[in-house]
Amino acid sequence: KPGEQKHPKEPSSLQCMHLAVVACGDRLEETLIMLKSAVLFSSRRLCFHIFAEDSLKPEFETKLKEWPSSYTKKFESNIYPITFSVGNAQEWKKLFKPCAAQRLFLPVILKDVDSLLYVDTDVLFLRPIDDIWHLLREFNSTQLAAMAPEHEIPKIGWYSRFARHPYYGSTGLNSGVMLMNLTRIRSARFKNSLIPGGLTWEEMLYPLYQKYKNYITWGDQDLLNIIFYFNPECLYVFPCQWNYRPDHCMYGSNCRGAEEEGVSILHGNRGVYHDDKQPTFKALYEVIRDFPFEDNLFQSLYYPLQSRFLDTVHTLCGRIPQVFLKQIEKTMKKVYENRVIVYLGANHRH
């Protein structure tokens, strides 16, 4: 229409939602379940960037090809070796968990990717990735990454009680879910405690590690906390329902956003998918793992979840099942409407 503003078409690299993960050791199954949860609910196309040890590459390729075509057409996947562009590769590889430091090098390796969502292998999406991807639009002109706080309450927070290095805010940051504008990260100069002038992301990583390596406990997460301590204006903080961990319910419910909206992204750190300490988290993981792709979501995913949750009501996290179920129920209704109602409507018109 005359006088109406035209929006430029998105470049093709932006039409894909880029999701990165780093998998080493015994994390193959966990990574595949995370990718499965992403594909189950997303509506836009996904581009997976999987950084894995050489021995895992053929297994990833084989397993992803086994998924039904109705799902494999929703994504493309790239598998990369573990590489570190600066410093001592062996040192980086051993920092905290095997290969975890790889995430620090994503802006350097994925030079053609504009924006990216990085997640740990022990993450599950309970709503479409599209929804967290939209937060990129909320960044102001100086923000280039987004993370959630490590804790909601300083007096029970790890950083506020034990950290021996600078950290962001009053409780530090958890880096298990990290949304990044890689273009901005590559072009920025970061304030730091090393030299008076700013350094680029790549220039900063190894000297920063050298300076603080005797003081950091959580490896790459601590380095990110140090970076954003000196550059707080570069960070967008998203609420706890986007990175919901056992800490948010095992001491009593302390994530208000999840109570109001439900959990958006579940982060089963501390190995809770594989032991019996947090049966609510384990139930979600196993139900998504066992869900046959082509089955009805309500029958084969939602109802089994409800009945599994009945066995967890004796635990602090199990007392609040609605927190875990609210988003997933909403998401399933949306998926159901898109698949069934839209499909029926189209057929009816014909």
Tens digit of pLDDT for each residue in 44-62? 999 999 999 999 999 999 9
> What phi-psi label fits residue 6: left (phi over 0), alpha (psi between -120 and 50 degrees) or beta?
beta
> What average pLDDT score do residues 291-305 get?
92
The domain locations on the chain are 17-238, 241-345
Nearest CA to 106 out of 97, 116, 96, 98 is that of 116
Top-confidence residue, 126 or 168: 126
User: Cα separation of 9 and 331, whole Å?
Assistant: 28
pLDDT at site 350: 53
> What average pLDDT score do residues 81-94 get?
82
Top-confidence residue, 84 or 202: 202
Query: How crowded is residue 247: how many other Cβ atoms within 10 Å of its Cβ?
Result: 21
- Point out which residues pair with 21 in neighbouring strands: 50
pLDDT at site 101: 87
What lies within 8 Å, CB to CB, of 198 at 6+ separation is 188, 189, 190, 191, 192
* CATH code, residues 17-238: 3.90.550.10
pLDDT digits (tens, 9 = 90+) for 270-291: 899 999 999 999 999 999 999 9
Query: How crowded is residue 260: how many other Cβ atoms within 10 Å of its Cβ?
Result: 11
In this prediction the pTM is 0.91
Local confidence band at 13 (pLDDT 50, 70, 90 cut-offs)? very low
